[in-house]
Amino acid sequence: MCGEHFVTGSQVNDHLHPDYVPSIFPHRRQAVSVMTKVKRFRSAIKRAAQGPKKSVKQKNSELTCDGGVSVAVSLSSDAPGEPECSDGDGVNETGFAKPLVESERAQMMAEIDLLRQERDQARDECQNITRERLSARAVEGDDRKCKAMTGLSWTVFVCLHYFLLQFIKGRSFKVPTQDQLFITLLKLRQNPSISLLCHVLDMKTSTVTDMLTRWINIMHSKITFLIHWPDRECIFTAMPPVMKAKFPQLTSIIDCFEIRIEYSRKLKARAKTYSHYKKWTTVKYFIACSPAGSVTFLSKGWGGRASDVKIVRQSGFISHLYHQPGDQILADRGFTLQEDFALLGAHLITPAFTKGRKQLSGREVEESRLKSNVRIHIERVIGALKNRFHVLDGPLPVQFVKSLRDEMENKEVATIDKIVHVCAALLNMSPSVVFNHDRVGDAESAQ
């Protein structure tokens, strides 16, 4: 600045004077000493002369180089004594170099090969531990874990595998048969995705799909006999006394349930499967259970548009093979089939209709309450079937209902029907949802 900018004509050191101009501002750092600048300059020159510093990974990779290699001890690394590679006649940055003889080179290469083998072995062990999580050995002897993974106790699982093992023929997979059954039941129980199973098992998608399809077909053909109509003596013997007091001739409780499926591209197929009750495309099944809670009848799948009455009539349930004169069947009020069962001499019992009526009589209210208390067991069976096997949660692929492969092979039973019937058969292999006090008392007295 020139003197014209000052009031007095020159700079003043008093900070209260208007001509005060500070030489050191508060926001600036303190000046660095000359010796510090000289040290920094020399360090920069030294780094430039040595070149870029090599990382530990680069040093380790140079251990496998060819002829003309020497080992030096690095004094600047975190791990003292770590070998570094340099040229045979050169000296590394530390100034210490020792050429390798042939015996030392062979020993070093042998140690490297040994370390590689240990690495590969540890990697394989980690993969095997992950695979064992999806094997029967992970739940061996533990009923709680086995039920959580497959829906069956360990004893029942072993018996089922032993029974199905005699029917295994043809192609064999690298996974043991017991693990194959375990994975199939796991798919039905927990419904993991196919991609997850392929990743954990290290198998192709087609291989996993073929394995699941094979075991579902075997179980459908060999264990669905568990869904059968029992003898009348067995029905009345296993009936809980509470039901026997209310309905002494009760043989079955009936209802329908639906499973969601994906939307079809064909409008006609979508119209047949759309359910106004679920507001989705579904497949509907008619189911009947005994008073003891076991599934005794299960129809094939129908489109969600079909009515309950139509499914019962077309399923073949109204027949002399299942009903005799005097039998009692409990159902919801939507099953208006009293006349159909009356032709067989059976009696269909439903709650009182409330449509168009302002008030029910006291007697009708009491009778409807008794009927609903017993009829609720079929809802519990359906709930156990869906809650125990999450594959039925849906939406299931449309290919499970009808696929090109099924049409080419002229298969009469759809894949979704096989899955539902297998799940119902597995449900019959588990304890019943209906609690019988007499059975518990007999078991305790026997013990």
Span 165-202, pLDDT tens digits: 888 876 667 788 888 899 999 999 998 888 888 888 88
140-163: average pLDDT: 89
**Token digits of residue 377:** 């067991």
- Give the pLDDT confidence score for residue 22 in this predicted structure: 67
Q: What band does 255 get if pLDDT is binned at 50, 70 and 90?
A: very high
Q: What is the dihedral of CA 205, 211, 213, 214, to 10 degrees?
A: 160
Q: What is the chain's length? A: 447
Mean pLDDT, the chain, whole residue set: 79
**Token digits of residue 418:** 């096989």
Q: What band does 131 get if pLDDT is binned at 50, 70 and 90?
A: low
Alpha carbons within 13 A on the beta-carbon side of 433: 20
Cα–Cα dist 337/347, whole Å? 10
Over residues 370-383, the pLDDT tens digits come to 888 888 899 999 99
Residue found under tokens 């209310």: 246
Q: Answer for the pair 236, 244: CB distance below 8 angstroms, yes or no.
A: yes
399-422: average pLDDT: 82
Question: Which is more confidently placed, 444 or 33?
Answer: 33
Question: Which is more confidently placed, 332 or 440?
Answer: 332
- Give the pLDDT confidence score for residue 120 in this predicted structure: 77
- For 289, phi and psi rounded to 5 degrees? -130, 155
The percent of the chain in helix, strand and coil, each rounded to the nearest 5, is: 50, 10, 40
The angle subtended at Cα 214 by Cα 210 and Cα 218, nearest 5°, is: 175
State what percent of residues in the chain have pLDDT above 70. 73
- Give the pLDDT confidence score for residue 24 in this predicted structure: 57
pLDDT at 28 over 60: no
- For 228, phi and psi rounded to 5 degrees? -140, 160
Q: Before 395, cis peptide (omega within 30)?
A: yes
Residue 30 DSSP SS3: coil
Q: What band does 79 get if pLDDT is binned at 50, 70 and 90?
A: very low
Pairing of strands 250-260, 83-87: unpaired
- Give the pLDDT confidence score for residue 34 in this predicted structure: 58
Q: What band does 15 get if pLDDT is binned at 50, 70 and 90?
A: low
Show the DSSP H helices in 329-414 as ranges.
338-342, 362-388, 404-409
Q: Considering only CA atoms, which of 363, 339, 340, 342 is closest in space to residue 351?
A: 363
**4-13, 221-230, 387-396, 417-426: which has the minimum mean pLDDT?**
4-13
Cα–Cα dist 19/3, whole Å? 10
Over residues 260-319, the pLDDT tens digits come to 999 888 888 888 889 888 888 999 999 999 998 899 999 999 998 999 999 999 999 999
- Give the pLDDT confidence score for residue 360 in this predicted structure: 76
- Give the pLDDT confidence score for residue 311 in this predicted structure: 93
Question: Which is more confidently placed, 61 or 197?
Answer: 197
pLDDT at 435 over 90: no
Cα–Cα dist 318/286, whole Å? 12
Stated as kind and residue range, the H or E segment containing 184 is helix 177-190
pLDDT at 402 over 70: yes
